Amino acid sequence: MARQTELDTGLVVAAHGRHVVVETPEGRRIQCHLRGKKSECVVGDRVRWQASGDEGVVEHVEPRRNLLMRQDEWKTKSFAANIDQVLMLVAGEPMFSESQLSRALIAAESAGIPVRVLLNKAELPQAEVARERLQPYRAMGVEVLETSLKTSPDASRALLTPLLQDAATLVLGPSGTGKSTLVNLMVEDAQAQVGDISQALNSGRHTTTSTRWYWLDAAARRGALLDSPGFQEFGLRHIEADQLPMLMPDLRAHVPQCRFYNCTHRHEPGCGVRAAVERGEISASRYRIYGEIREELERTKW
């Protein structure tokens, strides 16, 4: 292998199987494949690569600041690295899933990544119910913003620009909450950047990528949105079940009141967490979600 000092540097802006698109410091995008069967790259990785004909070979992945994983019924897969913040889109129509939101917050907390929640379609009557459902999250310190991306685009841009312009932001949200609207609002040449990626992946031979990197200012290569189409669930299987309460701030605040140091917060006497649920200081829905995720983690077999 070539010495690392002799290799070119780059940023992974798209990935499809063992093919990735690497962007050079000058902004050129090149299709690369990975050296070795066990190598893995995700969007956001900083890599060292070398040319091989018209393409390139990724020889080394630089150490990551953080790594996020997604999971389905069968497997867990890494999908984004070196994220500065997560922007979670929710709405009252369709009504957001508290379980999905909680999983996002737990995964980000585990990785040390700050999260903002953006309630879109704030002008709709259903937004009032969404606000009520978000109240426990505001109470535990999650920043919740509100906007109407389609009906108030200028106000939305003014709200989001200072929050996004200097960061790599992973944008998440179920179908229908306005993710595509947000990307097209904040990234003037979003479709052109998609075209660049398709071209770098050889004329759209790979029609979809799991995650895409968009520059907010492509010329200055400043600020970025990462969009993960078809996102289902964050992967949490790397988390130990006993660690889970410490990743949920509303539960964590009451753990010191538990009588037993190894309390699971489900049936033990003198449990500070369950006492807080009974007093209404932890919402019943959050406690239910904790139980569901804990059970899932306990039965997970590696």
- Asked whether residue 181 falls in the same domain as residue 213, the answer is yes
Amino acid at 55: E
Answer positive or negative: Cα dihedral of 212, 217, 218, 221. negative
| CA distance linking residue 50 with residue 71, whole number of Å | 32
- Asked whether residue 172 falls in the same domain as residue 72, the answer is yes
Q: Specify the 3-state DSSP secondary structure of 239.
A: coil
Q: Which one of 204, 233, 262 terminates a domain?
A: 233
CA dihedral 74, 75, 79, 82 (to 10 degrees): 140
Q: Are the CB atoms for 106 and 289 separated by under 8 Å?
A: no
- Asked whether residue 90 falls in the same domain as residue 228, the answer is yes
Separation of CA 78 from chain center? 11
**Within 13 Å of residue 178, how many CA atoms lie on the same side as its CB?**
28
Q: Are the CB atoms for 102 and 132 separated by under 8 Å?
A: no
32 is in an annotated binding site: no
- State the residue for tokens 């595509």: 180
**How many independent structural domains does the chain possess?**
3
Answer positive or negative: Cα dihedral of 176, 182, 187, 189. positive
- Asked whether residue 264 falls in the same domain as residue 162, the answer is no
Q: Are the CB atoms for 159 and 187 separated by under 8 Å?
A: no
Q: Specify the 3-state DSSP secondary structure of 29.
A: strand
- Asked whether residue 99 falls in the same domain as residue 191, the answer is yes
Structural domain boundaries, residue 109: 67-233
27 is in an annotated binding site: no
Residues 6 or more apart whose Cβ sits within 8 Å of residue 168 = 44, 82, 83, 84, 85, 213, 223, 224, 226
CATH for 218: 3.40.50.300
- Asked whether residue 195 falls in the same domain as residue 104, the answer is yes
Q: Taking every pair of C-alpha atoms in the chain, what is the biggest distance, in angstroms?
A: 67
- Residue 69, number of CB atoms within 10 A of its CB: 20
Ramachandran angles phi, psi of 168, nearest 5°:
-90, 110
Written as tens digits, the pLDDT of the chain (302 aa) is 455 557 999 999 998 878 899 999 999 999 999 987 777 899 999 999 999 888 999 999 999 999 998 876 667 788 899 999 999 999 999 999 999 999 999 999 999 999 999 999 999 999 999 999 999 999 999 999 999 999 999 999 999 999 999 999 999 988 889 998 999 999 987 775 666 666 666 644 544 556 889 999 988 889 999 987 665 567 788 899 999 999 999 999 999 999 999 999 999 999 999 999 999 999 999 999 999 999 999 987 44
Amino acid at 78: S
CATH for 11: 2.40.50.140
pLDDT of residue 189: 78
178 is in an annotated binding site: yes
228 is in an annotated binding site: no
Q: Which one of 233, 250, 284 terminates a domain?
A: 233
pLDDT of residue 204: 47
| CA distance linking residue 183 with residue 254, whole number of Å | 39
174 is in an annotated binding site: yes
- Asked whether residue 147 falls in the same domain as residue 255, the answer is no
- Asked whether residue 99 falls in the same domain as residue 193, the answer is yes
Q: Which one of 20, 46, 61 terminates a domain?
A: 61
- Asked whether residue 89 falls in the same domain as residue 219, the answer is yes
Label residue 280 left, alpha or beta by phi (over 0 means left) and psi (-120 to 50 means alpha): left
41 is in an annotated binding site: no
pTM: 0.90
Nearest Cα residue to 112 out of 65, 76, 145 = 65
- Asked whether residue 96 falls in the same domain as residue 53, the answer is no
CATH for 264: 1.10.40.50
- Asked whether residue 197 falls in the same domain as residue 115, the answer is yes
- State the residue for tokens 């569901």: 292
37 is in an annotated binding site: no
- Asked whether residue 18 falls in the same domain as residue 101, the answer is no
Q: Are strands 19-23 and 46-52 parallel, antiparallel or unpaired?
A: unpaired
| CA distance linking residue 66 with residue 83, whole number of Å | 7
Q: Are strands 85-91 and 212-217 parallel, antiparallel or unpaired?
A: unpaired
Where in 53-107 does DSSP place strands (E)? 55-61, 67-71, 76-81, 85-91
pLDDT of residue 33: 92
